[in-house]
Chain A
């Protein structure tokens, strides 16, 4: 699960590692890059054999090429562009002269766990300081060459310019800066926002051209010489092993080279162990797949062989109707509810969900003697390195993890189990291997999103004020996949839309009940915010109706006076996404603002034709404030279309607005899948769906026709945008459906039949 993060790690490491090296290693890359200039006062390039590497993220060659390290994984958020862009901006590098190299998994880079929408939040400041440090060194080098004071020298667009107008290029200065000491942090001056070249401006992703021409390298695309293809058959029930198997027929398939088994982990499986099963290694993918089909396997049954998700969820719901463990309490809900003149009551069900990234889990590995190298689309290359090393019994130093592009991930590829499998298969087979998970493998053996049952009851008093809020949530915690004794949601899970309820309601009780994990449970894009956002957002719409107040106005009224909420004083379970509440407060003014912005921009309240409607919801997750208005049409047959979505987002400084917009457009489509299409059911311990026919996701006809994203201008610390679009979309859609049809939605996926 998520690691504790230390924001200062990277910078400290870098200061220690602030090496000044002149190397000859990159000569081949540098040749051919010559910039001529008729103005002799400008020396742009220097010795092309010199590479100035002032820290592990930045190097500058004598020819002026700047190479920046992307240390976090690219799964579609644009982070491989956005963090180097921050470096380039402070460095005053010309983005067109920047090359990006993907880092291997190594703790020297600081946190690489690309998960939890915190890459920009955690690295905005360190990247700026690193860029500014190197900028200052280049200015100092120029000042020394000219014999002037550094205050007269200013880096600008790949050059350092003197007040007299003369200039040196970064390439020329690379060699001159090599022997300079690293400036103290206190001597740095960060750029002011009006001087930003790239931050808050539009920049396309670095890999755009390669993706559009089919040359981008994803997990199975890396060309590992001599690699054989491996596929596996795994127990449909997560954890148990093999009773018996016969691989003889599989071995007769032309091209099949080997059939063998991998050990099973039992249950709980943990999040990083291989599931075990039968491996087929072959010359080609097709031979491997035919071999897999020919396997005859009797699987062992384990402790979850009788797991039936539908009846389990009904059982969870019956527990949600009863008082549970109180996770947040204020006032006296029971007493206040008895005084209520109106109540709103609802039960909410969300099924298990699969991640289903378009690229299935896959990994390539080569194990020789006591060394292992992996190439894989992983979100957390350091965890991958640890898990592979542990599985092989190697030192971490003997494992190298190269990160390819990720063909989508959504949390699935945080878990390194598939890379562990590839490494074990390479060792056992003696071959370099490419391990492919088929789509069937992916959907049947995912780390599923928790299924959930919730009960909410709200009391409205004689003054038409909401005076009581009861919210019970029941779902198997992620921790149960590693530890059977964890049966009730942990603090971080209830802090995703349950106990962190910001509405100013005097009497409140947030409760949970036990529900053990019966399958592998993992985090899916926006995690517990999915089901909590759904239930809370829909309930608030019902409250608005019961109060006879416009739903947008209702949200603002319930929020109360602008304030920063000290949740730590309200509940011991509060978790602020690993950040101190003083640094990232829960600011109801920012929340109110996004509600008002989306209300005003969306034309909220306009009259809609019959069969159409608008819905609103707002949700803060991952420290980002989001409000959403969805427009919907529902035809006579119950066919739902979404012509327009409006989002208002406050994510602090909008570092890369173009990618913020794309994350919200995509987040709406992702949420549309969860709301309209997707459902995993488990029977007899086995997932019943196995491909995109049974497990449906939004297509172009289901997704919103258009999504407009209104970004709030802000100088607050930047926060993430990968996950925050998902939670408010679902209730906004459900509320729109109610406006269009008069039907309340209390279960996903939505069925109007």
Chain B
């Protein structure tokens, strides 16, 4: 067991965990932040997507010992305007069905839009292909990303 100082959603926290513990389980078990979901444990489905210094990572396959002082942002950490914009677009387009994968979808979409404010269909395909939605909300995910890219209007 080791102690880690983390910055999660702009807050400093301290956790005790085995070094190989994936960030996903630190968030869920140690910090009771359950917005980030388990889907596959092998970085195949994207349900656990969070940001490290603004880049999307699969938290199920990111050992806590590798996080260092990088800033962790989760679905609960809505302080940036782009996050609001994406969440609002998700609501405006009524994207979710069961909703389970949507935290990961939204985190991937935010990362895409931060890097590329006006993504093409191909850009969206590339950025979002790692996130599975078994309910099949893909049509609306694409629409919501485009809406958010336009500043929320469509």
Taking beta carbons and an 8 Å cutoff, which residues of A are in contact with B? 74-78, 204-205, 207-218, 220-221, 223, 229, 254-255, 284-287, 289-290, 356-360, 405-410, 436, 438-440, 658, 662-663, 665-670, 672-673, 691-693, 697-701, 703-707
Interface residues of B in 107-151 (CB under 8 A from A): 121, 124-125, 128-142
The distance in angstroms between the C-alpha atoms of A703 and B95, with both chains bound, is 15
Measured CA separation A697–B101 after assembly (Å)? 14
B78 vs chain A, min Cβ distance (A): 7
Highest count of chain B CB atoms <10 Å: which of A255, A409, A438, A701:
A701
Across the interface, B94 reaches (CB within 8 A) one of A75, A204, A215, A707, namely: A204
A601 to B114 CA separation, bound complex (whole angstroms): 38
> Does any Cβ of A come within 8 Å of B52's Cβ?
no
How far, in angstroms, from A220 to B47 measured CA to CA in the complex? 14
Most chain-B Cβ atoms within 10 A of its Cβ — which of A76, A287, A707?
A: A76
Contact: B96 with A358, CB < 8 Å? no
Scoring B residues 32 to 66 as 1 if CB is less than 8 Å from chain A, else 0, what string do you get?
10111111111011010000000000000000000
- Number of A-B pairs, beta carbon distance below 8 Å: 192
4 tightest A-B CB contacts, nearest first: A214-B35, A669-B136, A407-B100, A76-B98
- Determine the residue in chain B with the shortest Cβ distance to A409: B98
A372 CA to B121 CA, complexed, in Å: 51
Interface residues of B in 1-54 (CB under 8 A from A): 1, 17-18, 20-22, 25, 28-30, 32, 34-42, 44-45, 47
Q: In the complex the two chains form, what is the Cα distance from A285 to B32 in whole Å?
A: 12
> Inside 8 A of A409's CB, which chain B residues have their CB?
98
Assess whether A216 is in contact with B25, with CB atoms less than 8 Å apart: no
Q: In the complex, what distance in Å separates the CA atom of A441 from the CA atom of B97?
A: 24
Out of B18, B47, B137, name the residue touching A662 (CB < 8 Å).
B137
Residues of chain B within 8 A of A255, CB atoms compared: 18
Asked if B37 and A359 sit within 8 Å, CB to CB, the answer is yes
* Residues B132 and A407 in contact, CB atoms below 8 Å apart: no
Asked if residues B136 and A438 are in contact (CB atoms below 8 Å), the reply is no
Cβ–Cβ contact B45 & A358, under 8 A: yes
B98-A405 in contact (CB<8A): yes
In the complex, chain A residues whose CB is within 8 Å of the CB of B128: 699-700
30 residue pairs of the A-B complex, CB under 8 angstroms, read A76-B98, A212-B96, A212-B102, A213-B35, A214-B36, A214-B76, A220-B34, A229-B29, A254-B1, A255-B18, A286-B20, A357-B98, A358-B98, A358-B135, A359-B39, A359-B98, A405-B99, A410-B134, A438-B41, A658-B94, A663-B97, A670-B136, A691-B41, A691-B44, A692-B40, A699-B130, A700-B142, A701-B125, A701-B129, A703-B139
CB distance from B128 to the nearest CB of A (A): 5
A287 to B29, CA, bound (A): 11
Chain B residue nearest in CB terms to A283: B29
Contact B129 A211 (CB under 8 A): no
Chain B residues in contact with chain A, CB under 8 A? Answer: 1, 17-18, 20-22, 25, 28-30, 32, 34-42, 44-45, 47, 74-76, 78, 87, 90-91, 94-103, 106, 121, 124-125, 128-142
Q: Are B96 and A213 in contact (CB under 8 A)?
A: no
Contact A212–B141 (Cβ < 8 Å): no
CA distance A480 to B139 in the complex (A): 38
A665 touches B139 (CB 8 A): yes
Smallest Cβ distance from A641 to chain B, in angstroms?
10
Residue in contact with A691 in the complex, picked from B38, B40, B134, CB distance below 8 Å: B40
Q: A212-B102, A213-B87, A284-B25 are in contact. Are A358 and B134 (CB under 8 A)?
A: yes
Contacts A691-B44, A700-B142, A701-B125 hold; do A208 and B98 have CB atoms under 8 A apart? no
List, in ascending order, chain B residues with CB within 8 A of A691's CB.
40-42, 44
Across the interface, do B98 and A408 meet the contact criterion of CB distance under 8 Å? yes
Which residues of the partner chain A approach B78 to less than 8 Å between Cβ atoms? 213
Please report the C-alpha to C-alpha distance between residue A678 and residue B23 in the assembled complex, in whole angstroms.
30
Chain B residue numbers with a CB within 8 Å of A290 are 18
A662 lies within 8 A of B138 (CB): no
The reply to whether B102 and A408 form a contact with Cβ atoms under 8 Å apart is no
CA distance A360 to B129 in the complex (A): 20
Closest residue of chain A to B94 (Cβ to Cβ) is: A204
Q: A223-B32, A703-B138 are in contact. Are A218 and B91 (CB under 8 A)?
A: no
Please tell me which one of the listed residues B29, B90, B98, B135 contacts residue A212 in the complex, with CB atoms under 8 A apart: B90
Q: Nearest B residue to A222 by beta-carbon distance? A: B34
Report the nearest A residue to B32, measured CB to CB: A223
